[in-house]
Amino acid sequence: MSLYPTHIREERTYTKQLERMPRDVAVAALEAVCLLATTGVGDVTKLKNRAGLFRLRVGDVRIFFMFISEKSPHEQHKFIALFEIKWRGGAYK
């Protein structure tokens, strides 16, 4: 079993925000999420006062997500649940 999540879930808000971004920014963000999911590598910070929420920094973009584990009768699945993607200036407002 991998130490890192192997599945990614996108919430509707995240998907809409990603569609509004320039293509090169969106591609870089998705590549960073995939790298995090497969290797655990990324500029990640656990956010204070927000239970279980993390931030991945990719250039001027901030991606907010949670790590989620689900158990089935035979194995455990790990996910990254993506919630929001925002430009740096408006990310913490």
All domains in the chain, ordered by first residue? 7-88 (3.30.2310.20)
**Does the pTM exceed 0.85?**
no
pLDDT in tens, the chain (93 residues): 445 555 666 667 788 888 999 999 999 999 999 999 888 899 999 999 888 899 999 999 999 998 887 777 777 777 888 888 989 887 666
The pLDDT score that the predictor gives to residue 1 is 41
The pLDDT score that the predictor gives to residue 7 is 66
Whether 36 contacts 44, CB under 8 Å:
yes
**Packing angle of the helix pair 12-19, 23-39 (nearest 10 deg):** 140
The pLDDT score that the predictor gives to residue 83 is 87
